[in-house]
Structure 1
Amino acid sequence: MTHPPALSARNLDLPGVRHAFFTREGGVSEGVYASLNGGVGSRDEAARVGENRARMAARVGVAPERLLVPFQIHSADAMTVSEPWAPEDRPRCDGLVTREASLALGVTGADCGMLLFADARAGVIGACHSGWKGALGGMIEATVVAMEKQGARRADIHVALGPAIHPESYEVGPEFSARFIESDRAFARFFAPSPREGHSMFDLPGFIASRVEALGVASFESLAVDTYTDETRCFSYRRSVHRREPDYGRLVSAIALT
């Protein structure tokens, strides 16, 4: 089977761990979904998405049905898994954790943060989808806590952030920034003036980094890839809206124990 290209994080190059931040390259989808669309929630042909996911699963060393991706709802909920589920039983959450070597954990994104976690010593891995709502609400923290319940130590957990929208591309209105600053005035540092009066540019990767680093994990790495501007490698919800496209593809990031 064809293995699609993928990005990787140096800090997740750990014994017994495989991971991949897949780009939009190397799949069979067409049009706005070209080509490695991993989004079952998109309006792409289901057979094409299935083939794309099978290629991703092969890249991280598992059977297609063992690449697990939840029904993401912008929550702060992380779930521990030990076996595959039927497609109709896909859990509604934004984080997955396991210590099973036969499973790969995945999350999708098209501007939101996709984070992969690994404690190679304990043999525990995690993945979470964290847009602004999840990052503010505690999604990253919930994933680390779920890993600790499986025997991980946060001092041994390495975390990497895949492609996400960057501050030069993420303009927000005053009500958005107010929500953050009302939560903590120190969060004002993640907003910069926008050319449009009353608006700001939000640093989602920077905010995510601050949340991860506050946890005292072993290391954090960001791939520093802007989904909005890197059209060759990335799908972007915001770019698709600005272009008035009918839909958009989803990137997948995945991690597995070998």
Structure 2
Amino acid sequence: MKFESSLLQAVPALRHAFFTREGGVSEGIYASLNGGVGSNDNPAHIQENRRRMADSLGVAPSHFLTVFQIHSPDVAVVTQPWSTGDRPRADAMVTKTPGLAIGVTAADCGPILFADPQARVIGAAHSGWKGAFTGVLEATITAMENLGAARGQIIAAIGPLIRQRSYEVGAEFVTRFTDADRDNARFFVPSARADHAMFDLAGYIRARLEGAGILLIDDVDVCTYADERFFSYRRSVHRAEPDYGRNIHGLVLEG
């Protein structure tokens, strides 16, 4: 039902999970632990799935929080629960409040979980290529610092995401990255198709984290496209499916 980071596992009074799609009640293309309120799945099934994930993290469903993700560098500071309809538009959250589980949804994009064990500050970021490119990781770290964290103490765990062997992009995508920084060429290898390349999203995320001064980085090294235990947007497109489920990944400070 879930994967864990060995580095985050070692942090006292912290619970976290990179949830798989297994162990829920949804059916068909959403089977079975779909937590995406933005999907067209049965709302009652989504609610029960999220309740099960909240229970796994040891919180009430009302305290299992996600945002309305928009592929941005925006970060929400969490001090209290909100309803699904009131969730902020952002792609990351930070908190120092025990008992509030903060999570991000993903179906190929990168979920990044952060924790400063000394300052007792945590964060969660949804980092697809656009979010990483525009600074969501650095913005999350800065927001954690504003709550008392020190970037030299922060642990960052990279969760399941689409890996380079499954992530083909066009020439204009490569140009966008290399125009911004020539060194970004190292995150691309040639594809079997002309004018295409394979993009290393996990490597790019790691490099952005290292550039921001994060010293402790873990990567569960799982590909959402290749591993059927996870929802994958790109796999659903290739199968001509009408919609797709969302994985949720989150963490919580124990009270």
TM-score, scaled to structure 1: 0.97
The residue correspondences of 1:246-257 to structure 2 (distance < 5 A) are: 246-257=242-253
Q: Aligned partners of 2:134 and 2:64: how far apart in 1?
A: 26
1:218 is displaced (CA, Å) by 3.6
- The equivalent residue for 2:60 is 63
- The equivalent residue for 2:139 is 142
Q: Deviations over 1:105-135 (max 9, x none)?
A: 0000000000000011111000010000000
Q: Aligned partners of 1:256 and 1:169: how far apart in 2?
A: 31
- The equivalent residue for 1:245 is 241
1:217 is displaced (CA, Å) by 1.9
- The equivalent residue for 2:156 is 159
Q: Aligned partners of 2:101 and 2:218: how far apart in 1?
A: 20
Q: Deviations over 1:188-227 (max 9, x none)?
A: 0001000000100000001001111112224001110000
The answer to whether 1:113 aligns with 2:110 is yes
Counterpart residue type for residue 171 of structure 1: E
The answer to whether the 8 A contact 1:172-1:202 is kept is yes
- The equivalent residue for 2:38 is 41
The answer to whether the 8 A contact 1:16-1:120 is kept is no
The answer to whether 1:213 aligns with 2:210 is yes
1:91 to 88, 93, 117: 88
3-state SS, counterpart of residue 249 of structure 1: coil
The residue correspondences of 1:216-231 to structure 2 (distance < 5 A) are: 216-231=213-228
The answer to whether the 8 A contact 1:115-1:160 is kept is yes
Counterpart residue type for residue 210 of structure 1: A
Q: Aligned partners of 1:35 and 1:63: how far apart in 2?
A: 21
Q: Aligned partners of 2:74 and 2:201: how far apart in 1?
A: 19
1:23 is displaced (CA, Å) by 0.3
Q: Aligned partners of 2:27 and 2:46: how far apart in 1?
A: 11
1:12 to 8, 26, 35: 8
Q: Which residues of structure 2 form unaligned runs of 5+? A: none
Counterpart residue type for residue 250 of structure 1: R
1:179 to 176, 179, 185: 176
3-state SS, counterpart of residue 117 of structure 1: strand
Runs ≥4 residues deviating over 2 A: none
Equivalences, count:
253
Q: Which residues of structure 1 form unaligned runs of 5+? A: none
- The equivalent residue for 1:235 is 231
Q: Deviations over 1:85-111 (max 9, x none)?
A: 122111000000000102000000000
3-state SS, counterpart of residue 73 of structure 1: coil
1:81 is displaced (CA, Å) by 0.8
The answer to whether 1:194 aligns with 2:188 is no
Percent identity for Structure 1 against Structure 2: 57
The answer to whether 1:128 aligns with 2:125 is yes
Q: Deviations over 1:130-183 (max 9, x none)?
A: 000000000000000000000001111100011000011000001111000111
